[in-house]
Amino acid sequence: MEFAPIGLYLIVSLILSLILVSVSFLFASSASYPEKLSAYECGFDPFDDARSRFDIRFYLVSILFIIFDLEVTFLFPWAVSLSKIGLFGFWSMIIFLLILTIGFIYEWKKGALDWE
């Protein structure tokens, strides 16, 4: 039941943001012409088309994020129940973290984290 205020809050914020956007639409003057609609490239015309090679590092960072995000989801219940699961539970998680750390060291040495 405690999710109801959050849902209400979501709806209210949606409405509020819609109002803010639509007010500027209502009162601002919007005359558009081709010069104004052209892409901004520091005052010059675009030199070539917008197709450019995508850097693999963005993928690497996002994959790393997914992996360590999952790690955190495993850590939450462990952290909450640490008083009940005793040393065995503690060491189980340490082993899990160790395996993840090995993966992290692998990435580090492979240079997946270098941003040069």
Contact 100, 67 (CB under 8 A): yes
Which run of H or E residues covers position 100?
Answer: helix 82-110
Q: Find the distance separating the first CA and the last CA of the chain, reported in whole Å.
A: 49
The site string for another protein over 83-102 (x = CB under 8 A, - otherwise) reads -----x----------x--x
Q: For another protein, give the closer residue by CB, 61 or 104.
A: 104
Residues, the chain? 116
The least distance separating another protein from the CB of residue 106, rounded to whole angstroms, comes to 5
33 lies in the binding site for another protein (CB under 8 A): no
Q: For another protein, give the closer residue by CB, 68 or 106.
A: 106
Closest CA to 114 of 71, 68, 78, 61: 61
Query: Which residue among 5, 109, 114, 115 contacts another protein (CB under 8 A)?
Result: 109
Footprint of another protein (CB under 8 A): 88, 99, 102, 105-106, 109-110
